[in-house]
Amino acid sequence: MKRTVISLGGSIMVRGEDDPKFLMEFRDLLLAQPKDHRIIIITGGGRTARDHIRIGRELGSDEATLDSVGIEATRLNAWLLISGLPDECHPVPIGSIEEALIAIGSFRIVIGGGTHPGHTTDTVAALIAEKWKADSFLNLTAVNGAYTADPNEDRNAKKIDSMTSLQLLELVSDTASGAGSHSVMDPVAAKIIHRAHLRTYIMNGRDLGSVKACLDGKQFDGTIIYHEKEVS
Ligand code: UTP
C-alpha cells in the first residue's frame, strides 16, 4: 500500500478564479489513483482564515483565539473538498491526528483541517505523515516550489530544485509565529520533516500536471526535500 499525505493550501483551493473547475479536476486526480494508494489531505484556511484573523486582531483578540478562528476556516475548506467526493472518502473532516490514522484504515481518502492552536496545517499534515510512516509528503502551495526569498517580494529570488531538510529548516527559520503568518513551509513542519526523514515535495497545487507527475513518481516542476542521510 502506498501512503501519501498532502498539505493543500487554502489559498489555491479558493482563490476566486476557476475554483469549482480546479476542485473537480483535483478530485478526479485523486479518484484516478490506484485503489491501494491511500491519501490523507489536510486543507489550509487560505484567504478566509487570513481575513477573519485580521478582523479579530483589530477587535483586540489574543493570538490563541485567532488560531481557533483560523482552524475553523481550515475545517470549512475540508468540508468543501469532502462535499465533492463520493463514498470513498471519510465523510467528515478528521479532528485529530489519531482520528486520521483510524479513518484511513477504512477509507482510501481522508480529509481534515487544523487541530490545535500554535501551528499551521503544514504541521498537522507533517505529524500525520510521521506517525503514519507516509512514503511521501506533498505541500501544494501557490508557488512552484521553494525559493531563496519570497518571489512576490524579491525579484532576485531563485527557485530551489532540491535541498536537504536542514537547508529547508534554515530557509524558514525566521518565519513570524503569530496567527495567520505565512511562508512556503511552517518552521514547525520543517522540523518534523527533518526529524522524521520525510521525503517531501513542494509544488504549485494549481499545476495538476505537476501534482500528477509527482504522484506517479515522475519528474515535476517543484522542489524536492531530501534528508541529509539520503544525499551523503
Ligand atoms: P493555514 O494552515 O491555512 O495557514 O492555517 P497558511 O500557512 O496561511 O496556509 P494557506 O494559506 O492555506 O496555504 C491558517 C491559520 O489557522 C491557525 C493558524 O493561525 C494559521 O496561521 N491554525 C491552523 C492553527 O492554529 N492550528 C492548526 O492546526 C491549523
Would you state the pLDDT for residue 46?
A: 96
Query: 203 with 223: CB under 8 angstroms?
Result: yes
Which residue of 68, 74, 143 sits with most ligand 1 atoms within 8 Å of its CB, as the best mutation to test the pocket?
Answer: 74
The CATH code that applies to domain 2-231 is 3.40.1160.10
182: pLDDT confidence band, cut at 50, 70 and 90? low
Give me ligand 1 centre to Cα 185, in Å.
11
Q: What backbone torsions phi and psi does residue 28 show, to the nearest 5 degrees?
A: -65, -35
- C-alpha to C-alpha distance for 26 and 20, rounded to whole angstroms: 10
**In this structure, what C-alpha cell is assigned to residue 109?**
481518502
Q: What backbone torsions phi and psi does residue 36 show, to the nearest 5 degrees?
A: -90, 10
Per-residue pLDDT reduced to its tens digit, 33-80: 999 999 999 999 999 999 999 999 999 999 999 999 999 999 999 999
Domain boundaries, the chain: 2-231
Would you state the pLDDT for residue 214?
A: 97
Give me ligand 1 centre to Cα 80, in Å.
16
Per-residue pLDDT reduced to its tens digit, 82-115: 999 978 899 999 999 999 999 999 999 999 999 9
Count how many Cα atoms sit within 13 Å of the Cα of residue 15 in the half-sphere of its side chain.
15
Give me ligand 1 centre to Cα 50, in Å.
8
232: pLDDT confidence band, cut at 50, 70 and 90? low
Would you state the pLDDT for residue 150?
A: 82
Would you state the pLDDT for residue 178?
A: 64
Give me ligand 1 centre to Cα 96, in Å.
15
**In this structure, what C-alpha cell is assigned to residue 113?**
483541517
Ligand 1, pocket residues at CB < 6 Å: 9-11, 44-46, 49, 67, 70-71, 74, 114-121, 124, 179-182
User: Are β-strands 200-204 and 223-226 bridged in parallel, bridged antiparallel, or unpaired?
Assistant: antiparallel
Any idea what DSSP says for residue 39? E
153: pLDDT confidence band, cut at 50, 70 and 90? confident
Which is nearest to 70 in space by CA: 115, 20, 129, 103?
115
Per-residue pLDDT reduced to its tens digit, 142-152: 999 999 888 88
Which residue of 5, 6, 121 sits with most ligand 1 atoms within 8 Å of its CB, as the best mutation to test the pocket?
Answer: 121
**In this structure, what C-alpha cell is assigned to residue 174?**
525566521
Which is nearest to 214 in space by CA: 22, 4, 20?
4
Write the residue with the smallest CA distance to atom 13 of ligand 1.
Answer: 9
- C-alpha to C-alpha distance for 182 and 186, rounded to whole angstroms: 7
